[in-house]
Chains A and B, each alone.
Chain A
Amino acid sequence: MKRFVGMMMGVATSAVVFGGVSYASVGIQKIVASYDNIGLTVNGQSVATSAEPFIYKYNVYVPISTIGHALGANVKWVNSPAEVQVEGAGASLQPFSVYLNGQQMPTGLSNGKSLYGIPAGNSQYESVTSLIPSIDSQGNLNFQGTSTPAAAPGTPLSTLTPSALHGDFNNASLYPQGQLTGYWTPSVLGQLYPGQSAIEWGVGAGQTARLPGAEYALNGQYQTLIGQFAVDDLSRNYTGSLQLVFVGDGKTLGSTGWVQGGAAPTPFSVNVTGVQTLEIQYELKNSNGTVYTMGQTYQAPAKNPDGTTDPIVVSDLMNAVLQPSSSASTIAGTGSTGSATAPSSGS
């Protein structure tokens, strides 16, 4: 039971108007209350209190601090002017305006402090953003496009089962069932990409990593492999760099060139005409210039040099599509090293 210490027992007779609520009575009075063993339950639970509720002038009176506390609120007494302050009880949400690129959207609700929400399942938000939010029973929030993004024509590499896996890709505890995609959402320069179709490799602090690779049986069916390769925003400040090397039937076809964080994804286009087996090899160059090739062991530092984040380097191979042979677009006379090595556009 809360004790209101230090309160003034003096008697004043004038009514005071305060906050639009004014009472006429001030001072000590004797009243006659009717007790009837009135019990108190809050949210179904019986609340034992020595401050038993009673009836007075047809009202049932209850001790506000007992109720407030039982409802999970904070109850505080202020002496002068006399006030009981109850905080955290009930929902006090106010609407707030939302502007999306200058366009006014349906209002959200906020408690003015840490809780802000915009309505989900709202057709105006969905048509303007092309995103549909959904919340699962665990409270996870998923944003998905209103329409599946148009993929480049061809066979997405992520839909093919590799014929062989090397390095970390071959580690079943890291990549169960040889699944190389969908562990996280790639984020490059703040732009998000669907993870389901991205081949993902990362190295955590202290990890003994083995540079990975994957082989695909193309059986001469395809002409070009296109895609994008990037160092993810998770490791945007990584001082080393990564590259992909493309090997067809044992012959180097090209590479992405060394790629760093804080840069746009590096596009690549590899001529795989007539290639039976394509191998994609990962390579890492650390800040000292030491290069680790596919299969080699790279011992990651125990702690990220930035002092706080965990992954040392995270990479995303996105939108990789094998384009079929088509006589109209066969490039004659370009030789066997037909790759584009776009320079990494760092800032």
Chain B
Amino acid sequence: MKPILRSVSGYGMGLFIGAMVFGGVSFAGTGLKPLQVHYANIKIAVNGKVIPTSAEPFIYNYNVYVPISAIGHGLGAQVSWVGTKHEVSIARTAQLKTQSGSLLYYGSPILWYGNTHTFSYKGQSYVSPFALATALNEPVYIDPTTHAAYIGQGPSSGMPLVNFPDVRDYGNYAVASGGYVGAITGWKDGPSQIAGQIYPNSNGRSILWSPANSNGQIAGVTYNLNGKYTSLTGLFGVDDASGTGSQLQLTIAGDGQQLYQSPWMSRGQAATPVEVNISKVKLLTVSFSVKTASGAVYTMGETVPQGTVAVADFVDALVH
């Protein structure tokens, strides 16, 4: 009676599991060798995507083996069998070549920009939309889900105000925090929360301020809108992380004229909606004011008394 075999190879009939019946096999190099391998329905995922393989991968001696065709298709590499050399040659097909260098305008470097990536893919060169927007003096917004890029005019929800380069900073915003000068746009420990209401998308598109520990100088920031936007929207309030002693106010100015001033807000008060007509405004300035428990008022650039706890949230500041 023939032994029951799983059909495993086209080599040699009469092969017994567990029996080594090869004569003349050189284990140092060539010839047939029985291997104990482990199949476990192993999938191969490349950059997060499972790739099909022409034959199932298995484990042998703690390595996962795959047919070389999987390498070729899955890893974007070119695979060739060099018969004369008994060699598998694998070469990464250099489809994508990235470079990094300076950004120039009419041949002179833009010193504040830092490095810009360019790449070529299948023979076509690509440049950064951030670099292009800089050359055009336009803000740029990338949708986190669709990755669509909006230069100048934002999506239907609006262009985040903080995506414009700041053209002047005041108070704490003019002193580096974490190596960065400018408006604070998000809180490290989570999105803004005002009177129990969480604003989940606030980080990255809000203008926030809290007096720095050693020097609480009320902050302000100016953006150049080039006269191209008609309204500014958002919400303003005191973050729940704030103390209860002080009240906060938001002021919006356009080209030196005050356009909007919020009511004095206290912790625990629901955020007040902000909608300001900014038609034809070029330089838009956002600033805060603090009224301490004693009734003293401090405005942009002024230093608040040590120990003042006040957390200002101008949430979802968008221009349309």
Interface set of A (CB-CB < 8 Å, partner B): 1-4, 7-9, 15-16, 18-44, 51, 53-54, 56-68, 70-73, 77, 81-94, 96-102, 108-110, 112, 114-121, 125, 129, 131, 133, 135-136, 138-145, 182-185, 187, 189-192, 194-196, 233-234, 236-237, 261-262, 264, 305-309, 345-347
Q: How far is the CA of A343 from the CA of B12 in the complex (A)?
A: 96
Please tell me which one of the listed residues B12, B41, B44 contacts residue A84 in the complex, with CB atoms under 8 A apart: B44
Instruction: Name B119-137 residues within 8 Å CB distance of A.
Output: 119, 121, 124-132, 134-137
The list of the 6 closest CB pairs from A to B, nearest first, reads A117-B126, A90-B76, A262-B168, A195-B108, A139-B99, A139-B101
**Docked-complex contact A63 and B67, CB < 8 angstroms:** no
A71 B90 Cβ-Cβ under 8 A: yes
Asked if B146 and A97 make an inter-chain contact with CB atoms under 8 angstroms apart, the answer reads: yes
Query: Which of B49, B66, B112, B142 gathers most chain A CB within 10 Å?
Result: B112
Given A40-B88, A62-B71, A184-B111, 4 new contacts (CB under 8 A):
A64-B57, A86-B44, A135-B127, A308-B180
On whether the beta carbons of A135 and B99 are closer than 8 Å, the reply is: yes
Determine whether the beta carbon of A98 is less than 8 Å from that of B148. Answer: yes
**Nearest-neighbor residue (CB-CB) of A305 within chain B:** B175
In contact, B47 and A90 (Cβ under 8 angstroms): yes
**For window 149-204 of chain B, which residues contact chain A by CB distance below 8 Å?**
149-153, 155, 164-169, 174-176, 179-181
Nearest CB on A from B271, distance (A): 26
A33 to chain B, nearest CB (A): 5
Stretch from B79-87, B233-241, B272-280, B307-315 at the A interface: B79-87
Chain B residues with CB under 8 Å of A143's CB are: 103-106, 131-132, 135
Q: Please name the residue on chain A nearest to B104 by beta carbon.
A: A142
Q: Are B74 and A86 in contact (CB under 8 A)?
A: yes
Question: For A237, what are the chain B residues with a Cβ–Cβ distance below 8 Å?
Answer: 168-169, 174, 181
B98 on the A face (CB < 8 A): yes
Complex Cα–Cα for A91 and B39 (A): 29
B259 at the interface (CB under 8 A from A): no
Within 8 A of A (CB), among B57-71: 57-59, 61-71
* Cα A324 to Cα B147 with chains together (Å): 53
Select which of A7, A25, A67, A306 is within 8 A of B176 by beta carbon: A306
Q: Which residues of chain A are near B59, meaning CB under 8 Å?
A: 4, 7
Interface contact A64-B39, CB-CB below 8 Å: no
Task: Note all chain A residues with C-beta closer than 8 A to B53.
Answer: 21
Contact present for A39 and B88 (CB under 8 Å): yes
Q: A18 is contacted by which of B41, B100, B149 (Cβ under 8 Å)?
A: B41
By a CB distance below 8 angstroms, the chain B residues around A3 are: 62
Nearest CB in chain B to that of A234: its residue:
B112
List, in ascending order, chain A residues with CB within 8 A of B153's CB: 99, 101-102
Which residues of the partner chain B approach A90 to less than 8 Å between Cβ atoms? 46-47, 74-77, 92, 95
Give the distance in Å from the alpha carbon of A28 to the alpha carbon of B10 in the complex. Answer: 19
Is the beta-carbon distance between A100 and B151 smaller than 8 angstroms?
Answer: yes
Residues of B within 8 A of A71 (CB): 75, 77, 90, 92
Return 11 A-B CB contacts under 8 Å, by A number: A4-B64, A25-B56, A42-B91, A43-B92, A62-B88, A86-B46, A110-B147, A182-B108, A191-B137, A196-B107, A306-B174
Q: Specify which chain B residues have a CB less than 8 angstroms from the CB of A346 in the assembled complex.
A: 168, 256
Judging by beta carbons under 8 Å apart, are A1 and B63 in contact?
yes
Do A60 and B81 touch across chains, with their CB atoms under 8 A apart? Answer: yes
Known A-B contacts A262-B167, A347-B168; the reply to A28 vs B37 at CB < 8 A is: yes
Q: Does the CB pair B112–A187 fall under 8 Å?
A: yes
Which one of B26-34, B261-269, B289-297 is at the interface? B26-34
Using Cβ atoms and an 8 Å threshold, which residues of chain A touch B246? none
Q: A82, A135, A309: which contacts B181 (Cβ < 8 A)? A: A309
Q: Which of A35, A60, A138, A185 contacts B67 (CB 8 A)?
A: A60
B52 contacts partner chain A, Cβ-Cβ < 8 Å: yes
Task: Known A18-B50, A234-B111; judge A57-B55 contact (CB<8 A).
Answer: yes
Nearest B-chain residue to A37, judged by Cβ: B29
Q: Is the CB of B8 within 8 A of A32?
A: yes
- Is B6's beta carbon under 8 Å from chain A? yes
A267–B238 alpha-carbon span in the complex (Å): 42
Chain A contacts for B112, CB-based, 8 A: 187, 233-234
Instruction: Establish whether residues B90 and A7, one from each chain, have CB atoms under 8 Å apart when the complex forms.
Output: no
Chain A CB count within 10 A is highest, among B69, B168, B253, for B168
User: Which residues of chain B are within 8 angstroms of A21 by Cβ–Cβ distance?
Assistant: 43, 50-53
Identify which of A41, A140, A182 contacts B102 (C-beta below 8 A).
A140
Cβ of B151: which chain A residues have Cβ within 8 Å of it? 98-101
In the complex the two chains form, is B35's CB within 8 Å of A33's CB? yes
Residues in B with CB closer than 8 Å to A192 are: 105, 110, 134-135, 137
B167 near A8 (CB under 8 angstroms)? no
A142 cross-chain contacts in B, Cβ below 8 A:
104-107
Q: Determine whether the beta carbon of B148 is less than 8 Å from that of A97.
A: yes
Contact B45 A83 (CB under 8 A): yes
- The reply on B40 being an interface residue by CB < 8 A is yes
Contact B77 A184 (CB under 8 A): no
Contacting pair B44 A140 (CB below 8 A)? no
Q: How far is the CB of A123 from chain B (nearest CB, A)?
A: 13
Q: Smallest CB–CB gap between A190 and chain B, Å?
A: 5
Q: Which of A65, A81, A261 touches B168 (beta carbons < 8 Å)?
A: A261
Known: A32-B12, A121-B125. A308 touches B55 (CB 8 A): no
Q: How far is the CB of B107 from chain A (nearest CB, A)?
A: 6
Name the A residues within 8 Å of B10 (CB-CB): 57-58
Q: How far is the CA of A301 from the CA of B96 in the complex (A)?
A: 46
A8 to B59, CA, bound (A): 11
